[in-house]
Structure 1
């Protein structure tokens, strides 16, 4: 299974800051924002990942992430010229996916949940679509699940003024081999974009959409606005300082997945000691042996 990480868009909700730098390169406490969704993909067993950026920002992502070989990953890049919608990213990834299944994740979403990590790591194949639902205080900015009287999902409504439920669909989607053909048949929405909700609704119409509801132990942070970015940074800080574990650490995720051996981990850690990041990686080596789940690919 291959991954698609969407790190394009104009970032207009965070102007003027994002006129100069991509939102996904901004720090969320002690890591660039893109580290969080990238580590989620690594935990899901994804090794080959296409990162979709704006044309002018791709060199910055390449400088930060390289080809991923330092983590045992295969990172590739594609350009989205205009913000044509999340589903448009699937069309850009058509050659990369080569008719295979895909995990699509948004570069400004942070999802922190041991339960979700286990579900993703256990994925072997998907015939159709798989999305998640999570209750939030205000679901209006998202795709929202609409349930029937028996509790089954009957529709997904994009950015409703009156939400049919509190369950929003976070920016993490798993699709079967036909997702590119489905995206290719979409009609742009009123705002001129190919909506990912329409992909999910088509799978639902065909009876091939699985929806998994996530509970209260899952934290989903959308960092698309200044206040949300500050809240996400504070959340990560509290977790890391209180529990002594890092959130969104790509090196740790790769090490636990068996992509890095101890020697490679140590080589990555030593240059990062000045910030304390490297010391954390060294403590993992000196005090804990990783549980290595079977890779899913």
Structure 2
């Protein structure tokens, strides 16, 4: 079995951060969200992985490499434009050959891995397997409608008036039958080859498409609030460790990770928190569910339930909550500004905020 990981797309819901970075590389607990998917694929016993990349392909290649850090063999497949998930299968035909495969959206976060799901698929006679989960607003997702006996009776991509609340999770399993399906469909009104249309083609032509309702945690990390919630979920289970330097004026409560080379002085840290390597925290408060990247500086600042990416500075500012701060950002005081802070800041920006 092989895996096809989709790491293209423009990430429009996370602009301006995605103007300069691949959304699949945004950190959850200081690890790119794409890495969680690659690790899940490896743990399911899959070695051969094709990664479909787009405009941010160079960055993905640089960070992921040849896959050896994960125990994988990675082949990169360039998509000239975001023409749909089924188009990704189309351009991966030579790589996939006649093998069964998992298709994993690189910005999806699924707790619990896919080992059991892969094992169930390989031991069954399904042509495709979908994972479904109920959501509050299915209009932003592919949607499936099930019949009384649980069979799939209809599939739609981001419908204005959904027929059900069952969203399609971004992890699919296919036999080679899907190759005929993606060749048979036409572009949608969005101008894309929709994977939902390809799966509907399989259903309509008598292929066995199985649906599995997941009960674990899943998120499409396409929005700031989803990134923060995934960060919270991962931090809930971290094991505390202190590899950096913490002075005796600092108070630490709960599960806190302080990586090698980090320095914490005269601060209050209430976990769960991760402080990246070579970061410096001085006279500051870090509240629960906060991730501070590598090489950051926080001085006389207060922040919680937030993600601060590598090499950013927050100085003389209180209070930041529910925020996603990009790489190389500087946040400092400025006069005549409101005292409420909720930030989505692109890379290499400078923002001045009243302390």
TM exceeding 0.5:
yes
Write out aligned runs for 1:275-294 (5 A): none
State the 1:58 CA deviation.
2.3
CA distance in 2 between counterparts of 1:277 and 1:67 reads 28
Alignment CA distance shift 1:118-1:273 (3 Å)? farther
State the 1:105 CA deviation.
0.7
Alignment CA distance shift 1:113-1:14 (3 Å)? same
* 2:14 counterpart residue number: 14
3-state SS of paired residue (1:191): coil
Q: Is the 8 A contact 1:45 1:121 kept in 2?
A: no
CA distance in 1 between counterparts of 2:110 and 2:187 reads 28
Alignment CA distance shift 1:169-1:274 (3 Å)? farther
Write out aligned runs for 1:155-194 (5 A): 155-194=154-193
Q: Is the 8 A contact 2:178 2:199 kept in 1?
A: no
CA distance in 1 between counterparts of 2:81 and 2:41 reads 25
- Larger helix percent: 1
Q: Is the 8 A contact 1:99 1:178 kept in 2?
A: no
Alignment CA distance shift 1:63-1:274 (3 Å)? farther
State the 1:208 CA deviation.
1.5
State the 1:185 CA deviation.
1.6
* 1:128 counterpart residue number: 127
2:225 equivalent to 1:227: yes
State the 1:143 CA deviation.
1.7
Gaps of 5+ in 2: 242-258, 263-273, 277-355
* 1:100 counterpart residue number: 99
State the 1:96 CA deviation.
0.3
* 2:39 counterpart residue number: 39
Q: TM-score, normalised by structure 1?
A: 0.76
State the 1:26 CA deviation.
1.2
Which protein shows a greater Rg? 2
CA distance in 1 between counterparts of 2:275 and 2:51 reads 24
* 2:27 counterpart residue number: 27
RMSD: 2.5
* 2:117 counterpart residue number: 119
2:92 equivalent to 1:84: no
3-state SS of paired residue (2:236): helix
CA distance in 2 between counterparts of 1:12 and 1:63 reads 22
CA distance in 2 between counterparts of 1:127 and 1:166 reads 24
Alignment CA distance shift 1:158-1:69 (3 Å)? same
3-state SS of paired residue (2:46): coil
CA distance in 1 between counterparts of 2:115 and 2:97 reads 26
3-state SS of paired residue (2:136): coil
* 2:349 counterpart residue number: none
State the 1:133 CA deviation.
1.2
CA distance in 1 between counterparts of 2:69 and 2:39 reads 14
Q: Is the 8 A contact 1:44 1:123 kept in 2?
A: no
Q: Is the 8 A contact 2:151 2:210 kept in 1?
A: no
CA distance in 1 between counterparts of 2:26 and 2:165 reads 29
3-state SS of paired residue (2:187): coil
- Larger strand percent: 2
Alignment CA distance shift 1:21-1:164 (3 Å)? same
Alignment CA distance shift 1:186-1:102 (3 Å)? same
* 2:250 counterpart residue number: none
CA distance in 2 between counterparts of 1:87 and 1:152 reads 22
